[in-house]
Amino acid sequence: MFLICLKMRKFVFVISFIFFFLTTLLAQTSDSASVRLGNRAFGLGFGRERHHVSFLSPLLYYGNTYEFWNETIKCQSVGKRDFYSLVNNRVSMTYMMPTNESTDMSSYYDVFEYHHFYDWKMTPKFHMLCGAYTGFEFGADLLFSNSNNPIYIRADWSLLGLSFRPTLCVRTKRRLIKFSDQLDLRLAGIVFSPTYTQLYYDLTLEEYDKTEFLDFNSLSEKIRFSNKLMIELPLRRTTLRLGMLFERSKSMIHKIDNRTTSVQALVGWSYDYYNIKGRLNRDSRFTTVFE
């Protein structure tokens, strides 16, 4: 019995050694360009928001906003050109009051965006990512002191927007610090909105053409601009991401005036990840997604 166990252990050891050796061989013979890298980041945001939606109130509301955000950026090489896809998701909640502090409004919404960038390598350390994005925002503004119109549904599908993300990588003695600034500008989309003083009750009427709630719009009707400045600082084994998000949107759809200005501080962590193929072919040169 003891001999069988001993032989078994040797067998496992030999198999493990061969497997490890073979993968090393594969890694050495593979083209390092096939290593596929991505970067994930997640964290919290908090700041101030100024919001106005004439459907609920003619006043301007101010308050604190909190959000959970996460972001995944992935490199995709086509020939000698690099492209990046970026998925951004933010879940926000905001509590606001007008200056008279007589009532309060709360907002809950989710923003999901998909960006596609072309990597324009201006210098080895400075990458200008230029591209477009699409995404949606879904949520609601709640003002329960209103009787028949306590809710305004925030539903906006951004069909197309411009997106830029200049990124600068600075290597100090032992650390790599990454600066990036993401600018997004919505060009066109579809917004779900009632008309002026229309109530959502109309949606329950069979005869009502529900598409009247939809409005295809461009810059002239709705403009949304956001700027996210970020810095990534390696901290022991993790990378800290600090940022500042400025967002401004203004729309006049179905004669409902809607304005939002938001400034937030972002704190989070980021890390590079490899797919299985990339992990096997990992090269020490690839310390960050942009380098």
Partner 1 sequence: MKKIFAIIFVAVSSVFASCDDDLEYDDFDAIENFNFLWKEIDEKYCFFDYKKDSIMRWDLVYDKYVTKIYYDCSNVTEYFDVMAAMLGELKDGHVNLYSSFDVSKYDFADNTPIDFDYNLVMYNDRYLGKDTRSIGGFRYKTLRDGKVGYIRYADFSSSFSYANMYGILSSFEDTEGLIIDVRNNGGGAITNVNKLVSYFIEETTVIGYRVNKTGPGHSDFSSPVAEKVSPVDNEIIYKKPVYVLTNSRCYSATNEFVYAMKGLPRIKILGGKTGGGCGMPFSTELPCGWRVRFSANPCYDKNMQITEFGVDPDIEVHLDEELAYRAKLDNIIETACDYIVKKK
The binding site for partner 1 (CB under 8 A) comprises 50, 52, 57-60, 98-103, 145-149, 162, 185, 194-199, 201-202, 204-208, 219, 223, 225, 248, 250, 254-255, 259, 261
Separation between Cα atoms, residue 156 and residue 201, nearest integer Å: 20
Residue type at 188 in one-letter notation: A
Of 103 and 106, nearer to partner 1 (C-beta) is 103
CB of 208 vs partner 1, minimal distance in Å: 5
- Per DSSP, the three-state class of 266 is strand
Of 98 and 234, nearer to partner 1 (C-beta) is 98
Is residue 70 within 8 Å of residue 110, measured between CB atoms?
Answer: no
**In which residue are the tokens 């599908």 written?**
157
CB of 68 vs partner 1, minimal distance in Å: 26
Residue type at 248 in one-letter notation: R
Of 58 and 81, nearer to partner 1 (C-beta) is 58
Of 13 and 201, nearer to partner 1 (C-beta) is 201
CB of 272 vs partner 1, minimal distance in Å: 33
Q: Which two tokens stand for residue 220?
A: 């002239």
CB of 252 vs partner 1, minimal distance in Å: 11
Dmax (CA) of the chain: 86
CB of 180 vs partner 1, minimal distance in Å: 20
Of 31 and 207, nearer to partner 1 (C-beta) is 207
